[in-house]
Structure 1
Amino acid sequence: AFTKGKAKQISGIQVPDATTLVIKTTKPIFVLTSGRALGMPCTVPIPKDYAQKYDKGKTSTYGEHAVFTGPYMVQNDGKGNITGYEAGKTLTLVRNPNWDKSTDFRPAYFDRIEFKGGFDATVAARKTLTGPRMLSGDYAAPPVAVLKSGLSSRKSQYIGLNTRIKPLDNVNVRRALSAAIDRTSLRQTRGGPTIGTIATHFFPPGIGGFEEGGGVQGPGFDFASSPTANVPLAQQYMRKAGFASGKYAGPALLTFADDAPPAKETAEAFQSQVGKLGFKLKLREVPHATMLSKYCEVPKAAVAICPNFGWGADFFSPQSMIDPLFNGKNIVPTGNVNTAQVNDPKLNAQIEKAKTITDPAASAKAWAALDKVVTNQSYFLTWIWDNNVGLESKDMNGVPSKFNSGEWDLTFSSFKK
């Protein structure tokens, strides 16, 4: 009733007292019954009375006036207006005066945290290592000289293909592209082996269903099994798709990519690799945020290929790797992460059924089967399972996050004495 506009409240969500949340569903939902979708480190309660005035327009402005419950908050002007954020450049966190340390297990040693963006990866790594008081952020490969180890980030890097645009609507063309890419060379654009493992299917290590889906070896599809390009195999798939010469001879495909390294180099390497199959790309390089907000996540933009995509689990369930990206009901006009624009009724039904399986082992098998389906269909060209490589200056005690392996947990990290 609520989604149809016939009710003002969701009857299945109840708050009987100040510390209890009751969620009632009409069918089993594994990520709720198991609590896996309720334990996210970014879960934040939003006070309705305060937020509703910012939610009245077509686009909510609550993010510009957000309230915070943890030890830190984005710096504001004292009147509730966020001032400590400049997109792509800076984010400043300060202590939250309303935080009660006695009720929180996190020590939160820092008084102020500044995030600085817009740096070349090599420059950022060098700045971090020479310090003082610096930890690496969410940038790509640091210099090879400092790469020693990495932990799985439970994230996949992939090249997005729009199945609504010819010839990418043909599964054998997509398989041909999968066979034609040199995943090892693509990984080199990011820093080499330490930065990740060559992918053989979509699910990354650490996600339920990964081992059931074949583990590192994968499900065994020939077009996704080789770490290097297999052009003869790619040409076979092109012939199956109706291209007698084994090569594409149609118009150039509109492609949007990042304009900054290392993603820029990844896109250009991909362009060179698929050229061996006759594909010409109308490659446009723009800032990452623009790539997503105006082109790759906007179906009307009709972008054929987006080489700089990555996706990690939003919570500890394989559902968060499949449902947002491949369920047809999630295709939206903007902010669309189903970039392949997949809307297969059979696949949609499989996804909905998998959500209701509450036995952990059976659930993992069901999602692994879906991982196999999307890999076989080559909706994405998955080329690497990311590692996170954390760097710190000599005066820091960096503590890795349990949620995003290899990244720093700033509520536990501290300065060395």
Structure 2
Amino acid sequence: MRHQSLISRRVAAATVSLVLAAGAAACAGPQDGDGPSTSGGDGEPRKGGTLTVLNGEPQTDFDPARLYTSGGGNVPSLVFRTLTTRNREDGAAGTKVVPDLATDTGRPNKDATEWTFTLKEGLKYEDGTPITSADIKYGIERSFAAELSGGAPFLRDWLVGGGSYEGPYKNPKGLASIVTPDARTIVFKLRKPEGDFPFVATQTQFAPVPKAKDTGTKYEERPVSSGPYKVVKNDGDGERLVLERNPHWSGKTDQERKAYPDKIDVISGLDSAVINQRLSTGSGADASAVTTDTNLGPAELARVGGDKELAARVGTGRFGYTNYLAFNPKVKPFDDIAVRRAISYAINRTSVINAAGGSALAEPATTFLPEKEAFGFTPYDHFPAGKTGDPVKAREVLKAAGHEKLTITLTHSTEQNRQTSPEVATAVQEALGKAGITVKLQGLEGNAFNEKRWSAKDAPGFFLSRWGADWPSGAPFLAPIFDGRQIVRDGSNYNHAQLNDPAINNEIDEINKLTDLSAAAKRWGALDRRIGELALDVPLFHPVYKRLYGKNVKNVVISDWTGVLDISQVSVK
């Protein structure tokens, strides 16, 4: 998570598949509080038909080396299989990692510094040639090439020799830390223990790429499929992507993807209002359409709420994402914990949530970790402010610390994304004003905002921020933000407080050694609670995602891993 490519992906995810204007999350169902739904209409799901995907953002960089996170969302996972994958089930059950190309989720050595996987028998590419462990090794190695940048950075940090490796185009000998003793076995040697390695093995870098078919930067135009669908058209760098069945894919080796439709037509570059209108009306092909990146807004939700038929076609989810106020203690007066505590007491989460779109689209947060068991969620509220803030307590804390008058600056984005937007910033400003804190607002254009907030040298003292997990675990949530060894001085630094506490760093290392994910989750939760006492951030809310789907769409599955409707499960006939 240290690279600029990551934050650009973060921002894309935040405006495409992860955030309010673009959603992601768990529990499927027409309304808040409803249980998971696995049917988008009457009748059982059947094979056949065409699924249309209406999106705002193009499916760019359709190369497994360049995509980010688990399958890069939904569409890539139809073409690229990986060693492991997410369990394709509703809600919390979907946070589990399961085998994909591999026979299991990996076998670690005693200290989790070495992981061994065995491939299933009978795996084939779209042309009928067998998939081998050497293809997976090559696929990973090419993701290190500078010309194919953009994917997740973890393997560069984790693999022995990964930090200096430049890819197979410059170093054809490959990485010695990836060993393939035979065609079905692959072994990874790590610099340090990583109990979460099975989660990382879900990322598209682990998709096999046949060396003989590698066309470098042009590979994204017609990549070789290992999944149930193959690319037959890729126009405008992902603006129009058409997928048809891979005749050599077999459901016998793939228990996760249902692959009901015969064809998937991905149309991008559409305005969000147009997408929701087309899904609402459901004419022609739009009756069998979904979106993987466009949420309903407050006004649209109000209209949908008055229409029972439309309300029954809204998928609801809660992805592992937290919006928060970040402090940089290197900037005065935020070096004083009393100031940070006072702000924590003063915050009015009700007004913040209203600014973020209302309670249908955001839920209050007092913990940094999302409220899900897989992350290790442990309830706490070190600075209870109630629903509307406690300005009296905030004033008391400030007075005791000698701050009779306080003027501070809050930096935010000028983009209308309902998360780091002017509306949310104004809500914070008003709440702190009641506690006697004068807040000046500094709005920056999106790119400038991201560059500033992720700069270790030039980060503001107080700013709106957000963070989402690359997989459902406490590791990708807490380590990038609070591990002192991940502070980056000359690039994208996500440790906004520049915290470098040896005890916390050590606890992160100890948890990373655990391959018992349940035990690890409990310790991540305890660490979150411990860090929370330092008042280095103010959790504000967790986004809720609401998306329409077509009236002919069936078998709606939305897990807590991705939070988006899983198109590998959808039936349209």
Band the TM-score falls in, shorter-chain normalisation? 0.7 to 0.9
Match of 1:45 among 201, 204, 207: 207
* Aligned partners of 2:367 and 2:381 also within 8 Å: no
| Contact persistence 1:130–1:394 (CA under 8 A) | no
Pick which of 164-173 and 135-144 moved more: 135-144
Match for residue 316 of structure 1?
472
CA RMSD, 1 decimal? 3.6
Distance 2:499 2:222 in 1: 34
Q: Which residue of 1 aligns with 2:406?
A: 248
Distance 1:13 1:327, change over 3 A: same
Matching residue within 331, 338, 349 for 1:183: 349
Give CA-to-partner distance per residue, 1:167-214, whole Å, 9 cap, x none.
222222222212111112111223322324311211112243545x2x
CA contact (8 A) 2:234 2:241 kept: no
1:130 aligns with 2:281: yes
In the alignment, which residue of structure 1 is the partner of 2:429? 271
Partner of 1:328: 484
Q: Please say if 1:115 is aligned against 2:268.
A: yes
Q: 1:15 aligns with which of 167, 176, 180?
A: 180
- Structure 1 pair 22/44, CA: closer, same or farther in 2 (3 Å)? closer
| Post-superposition offset of 1:152 | 2.5
Matched, 1:170 2:300: no
Q: SS where residue 253 of structure 1 aligns?
A: strand
Structure 1 position 375, deviation (Å): 1.8
**1:354 matched to 2:511:** yes
What is the SS of the residue equivalent to 1:156?
A: strand
| Pairwise CA distance, 1:107 | 0.6
What CA deviation, in whole Å up to 9, does each residue of 1:205-261 have, x standing for no partner? Answer: 2243545x2xxxx2241x245222111112233234431x2x414xx5261314215
Q: In 1, distance between residues paired with 2:334 and 2:270?
A: 35
Kindly provide the amino acid, as one letter, of the partner of residue 437 in structure 2: G
Structure 1 segment 128-277 matched on structure 2, within 5 A: 128-132=279-283, 133=286, 134-139=289-294, 142-143=297-298, 144-145=301-302, 146=304, 150-208=316-374, 210-211=376-377, 213=378, 218-221=379-382, 223-224=383-384, 226-243=386-403, 245=404, 247-249=405-407, 252-253=408-409, 255-263=411-419, 264=421, 265-276=423-434, 277=436
Give the Cα–Cα distance (whole angstroms) in 2 for the partners of residues 311 and 138 of structure 1.
Answer: 17
In structure 2, relative to structure 1, the CA distance for the partners of 1:355 and 1:260 (3 Å cut) is: same
Q: Relative contact order (C-alpha < 8 Å, sep 6+): which is higher?
A: 2
TM-score, normalised to structure 2, is 0.58
Percent pairwise identity:
26
- CA 1:150–1:119 in structure 2 vs 1: closer, same or farther (change >3 Å)? closer
C-alpha distance 412-227 of structure 1, shift in aligned 2 (>3 A):
same
Conserved? CA contact 1:203–1:321, under 8 Å = yes
Conserved? CA contact 1:108–1:410, under 8 Å: no
Deviation at 1:62, TM superposition (A): 8.8
Unaligned runs of 5+ in 1: 55-60, 78-82, 86-90
CA contact (8 A) 2:348 2:385 kept: no
Alpha-carbon deviations, 1:77-108, whole Å to 9, x = none? 7xxxxx324xxxxx433327878433654416
> 2:199 maps to what in 1?
36
Quote how far apart the aligned CAs of 1:270 are: 1.9
Q: Which amino acid aligns with 1:256?
A: H
Q: Distance in 2 between matches of 1:27 and 1:306?
A: 33
How many Å separate the matches in 2 of 1:51 and 1:296? 41
- What is the CA deviation profile of residues 273-293 of structure 1, one whole-angstrom value per residue up to 9, with x for unaligned ones? 233342322421423x5532x
Deviations 1:347-387, CA, capped at 9 Å, x for gaps:
22221122113444432232112111222222222111232
Provide the aligned length of Structure 1 versus Structure 2.
382
Contact 2:557 2:565 in 1 (8 A): yes
